[in-house]
Structure 1
Amino acid sequence: MTDTPGWASPGSAPSPEGREPGASGPTEPSADRPGPNEPPAQPGTDTQGQGGKWSKEQPPPGQWSTPAGAPGQAPPPPPAPPGQGWGGPRQPGGPGGGWGAPPSGPGGYGAPGHGAWGGGWGGPPPAAKPGVIPLRPLGVGEILDGAVSTMRTYWRTVLGISLTVALLVETSLVLVQGLLMNDISQASLQDGTASADEVFRMLRETLIGSGVIAVISAVAVVVATALLTTITSRAVLGRPAGMGEAWRDARLRILRLFGLLFLLGLISVAVCAVGTLPGILVLAAGGSDGAGAALLILGILAALVVLLWLMIRFYLATPALMLERQGILTSMSRSAKLVNGSWWRVFGIALLTWLITNIVSSLVAVPFSFIGAAVSGDGMGDLLGTETGHVSWAFLIIRGIGSLIGTTLTLPISAGVTVLLYIDQRIRREALDLELARAAGVQDPATGAPGPVPGS
């Protein structure tokens, strides 16, 4: 007997040998009584022309009617309460008051959407969503939506952090450009009259200014990343996240986060050095200039490819260090393990996030640049960077305001996508959704079972 839902109804039996499908009785019916699998009929009726005789003792009407469209099946079990039968509730007014017909369609009993076991079946239960994302594998749109939802739900904390960071970075940039770059630009090299001392001074001050901006930006971005990672992890569980709580959770990991970024920077420098060294050596040895230049270009391209591969491979090292409280090397190893086999997916999401954040930032910053050029009287050459003349403070300040707003809006999205992508990879590989459901206090962990993944 096959009692698997969707294949046969409970109580059905295989047809005896010699019986054709759809026959209502055995091939050689008895002269005095019906076959073992044949339901008794009412007196005075014929049985599809077979001419069989009927027993004189018949059961009361309405007790042995088989489900419609299933001849030859054994009688159903005793009546159950409405909505709990095999194939649906009792049909009022049906033949003999029996059970209604089983659901039709290619699936038979258990066909989706037909109430296979007395209730509707529409797929797995919806995933629990205690916070900004459902606890199941996420699609690309859900990752981006979770990052935006975190910023919208905890906007005071998130925008406060990103505004502080952006204000620090943009103020430093304006001061360095206004105090150093303007002096450097006055020593113009367009006429070719600049002395060697002026050229070296220009180079030195440019490096100093760029270094100051890079250090300030790195410090601010590291602190912001640490705080936003903590806030996003709390938002997944639906817990409130204040600035003080985020700082208490993140401050012990900030030094290791600096170490991680410093190590990644050293790896990048080493890769670039290895890629460009052969070409530099050929050029320095006085060999063919064409061969040396070609080798240098190939080395640079190879170094860029390796750097891109390493960048994506260690893309999840920051959230692994912050949320798993791992060491520097262990967090890099964890990121490589999570990205393994999903490199192109992580690369695509990271690239899409980069494009979205840069487009949003440009849409905000570019109008401010035009406004600053119009207010300050600086020409379009200064705006586009094609002239080396003096740039007014009004232009720098107005342009800085646009960059400040753009960074404030996009920094939380970038950090949020990184954290949610890390959580998504752990859900896919390590069933982290069950742990998150327990941590969030979800009563029924089954509601966190993975469901459909749109857009992945």
Structure 2
Amino acid sequence: MNDTPGWASPGSAPSDGQETSVPRPAGPVDESGPASKWSKEQPPPGQWSAPTGPHTNPVPPPPPAPGWGGGQPRGGWGRPPAAAKPGVIPLRPLGVGEILDGAVSAMRAHWRTVLGISITVSVISEICGILVERFLMPEPPEVDPNATPSEALSQSVDSLQSSLLVMGPVLLITVIVTLFTTALLTVVISRSVLGHPVTLSDAWREARPRLPQLLGLTLLLPLVSAAIMTVGILPGLLLGDGPGIALAVLGGLAACGVILWLMIRFALASPALMLERQGVIPSLRRSAKLVQGAWWRTFGIVALTLLLTLLVSMIIAVPFSVIAFAVDGSGFSDLFAGTSPDFGWPFLIITGIGSVIASSITYPISAGVYVLLYVDQRIRREALDLELARAAGVPGYGSAPPGNTSSRS
């Protein structure tokens, strides 16, 4: 097990076909152990009975001790012991609410570090986005409502090219933001599971060696998605006309289904890459192994997280947008006139502040859910809770087994 931040090496995971070093019931002992003190001449089983006779009175069984049976009080012997909770989650299989609560608790427990990361990244991202929107975004092409079908098709192609040119810098900024927030917040949340303190310098020191691999993973997944979408719609585009358009739509829908399946299957690749120090391809295989048999559960948690973060972003962004429209009256009037609005600096700055506040809250929650979902799957499949309890120093779990205290790649 890796001592910082305390994750078992996947090489010894049961899901990989190997035994993990976790406590197990003691097996039979040889004649040198305690069992050898029993007499070898034991009575045959099943031949003992209660003494009977004319002077023997049956003895009623004693009443059940308190805490046993159906009338046991809360916290009696019948209840399983509570799971250890050295950090933000109990070390046992987690429910959906516990995963979401753990993500919020991690943000609250390390709010200085978490907000320092998310606010810094959000401010830089928003400034770059505003500059791109203000100076690099081309003017949208004019659309003639009376154009012939061929002219309308040409205008649509020009509009698509313009949108792609705008999306290039935006996607690059998104990749960089995702890279740094995923790397740093994964380290912070993994420490919060163990109840260990973490500073921004600690998170950067642990995350920095993994940035090249994480960049490769962050770029690979969108490229794979784009390739699948191209394969889905290209035959229809080449065919053209009505049947071609129908074929392109069907191919696009099929490609969306395949992309969704792959994105959920590889949803845990980033935590595996960061915490197990895996490469890009091994981390994808690791995620697929952990998600196997739990695709729908993983999809439900990811979809719920996206919905919650979207709602939080809208709740925060809508008031700032209303204020921005009120301040920048020209853009508001252009919007109602049906022309392309020309928003000024006041509008961009006010909406940018709202975006920074929303991102500072949603980034940690989203990253926390993915890390805790990864932890939950490993607890369910590999008894990672025992390893984490040892790493956190929980009494009764002993120390890390020999050979697992050093970092493994």
TM range (shorter): 0.7 to 0.9
- Contact map agreement 1:188 1:388 (CA 8 A) in 2: no
Higher-Rg structure is 1
Q: Is 2:120 aligned against 1:120?
A: no
Shift in Å, 1:103: 6.1
Residue 93 of structure 2 aligns with which residue? 137
- Contact map agreement 2:331 2:344 (CA 8 A) in 1: no
Q: Is 2:380 aligned against 1:428?
A: yes
Structure 1 residues 240 and 382, CA gap change in structure 2 (3 angstroms)? farther
Give distance in 2, aligned partners of 1:225 and 1:253.
Answer: 11
Q: CA RMSD in A?
A: 3.0
Structure 1 residues 219 and 302, CA gap change in structure 2 (3 angstroms)? same
User: In the TM superposition, what whole-angstrom CA distance separates every residue of 1:131-170 from its partner, at most 9, and x where no partner exists?
Assistant: 0101000011110011001111101110111111111111
Structure 1 residues 438 and 256, CA gap change in structure 2 (3 angstroms)? same
- Contact map agreement 2:266 2:288 (CA 8 A) in 1: yes
Q: Is 2:139 aligned against 1:184?
A: yes
Q: Aligned partner of 2:255: which letter?
A: A
- Contact map agreement 2:175 2:219 (CA 8 A) in 1: no
Q: Is 2:171 aligned against 1:214?
A: yes
**Secondary structure in 2 aligned to 1:445?**
coil
Q: Is 2:59 aligned against 1:102?
A: no
Residue 263 of structure 1 aligns with which residue? 220
Q: Aligned partner of 2:100: which letter?
A: L
Residue 52 of structure 1 aligns with which residue? none
User: In the TM superposition, what whole-angstrom CA distance separates every residue of 1:94-152 from its partner, at most 9, and x where no partner exists?
Assistant: xxxxxxx3369xxxx9415538xxx9314111111110101000011110011001111
Shift in Å, 1:176: 1.7
Residue 146 of structure 1 aligns with which residue? 102
- How many residue pairs get aligned? The number is 346
User: In the TM superposition, what whole-angstrom CA distance separates every residue of 1:371-412 from its partner, at most 9, and x where no partner exists?
Assistant: 100111135465699631321111111111111110111000
Structure of greater relative contact order (alpha carbons < 8 Å, 6+ residues apart): 2
Write the mapping of 1:255-294 to structure 2, written as runs, cut at 5 A.
255-283=212-240, 289-294=241-246
Unaligned 5+ runs, structure 2: 1-47, 399-409
Give distance in 2, aligned partners of 1:155 and 1:192.
Answer: 56
Residue 322 of structure 2 aligns with which residue? 370
Shift in Å, 1:201: 8.9
Q: Is 2:206 aligned against 1:249?
A: yes
Structure richer in helix, relative to its length: 2
Unaligned 5+ runs, structure 1: 1-12, 17-25, 40-65, 71-86, 88-100, 284-288, 447-456
Structure 1 residues 198 and 421, CA gap change in structure 2 (3 angstroms)? closer
- Contact map agreement 2:86 2:392 (CA 8 A) in 1: yes
Identity within the alignment, %: 54
Residue 50 of structure 1 aligns with which residue? none
Residue 305 of structure 1 aligns with which residue? 257
Which residue, out of 221, 225, 230, partners 2:187? 230
- Contact map agreement 2:72 2:78 (CA 8 A) in 1: no
Scaled by the length of structure 2, what TM-score is found?
0.77
**Secondary structure in 1 aligned to 2:139?**
helix
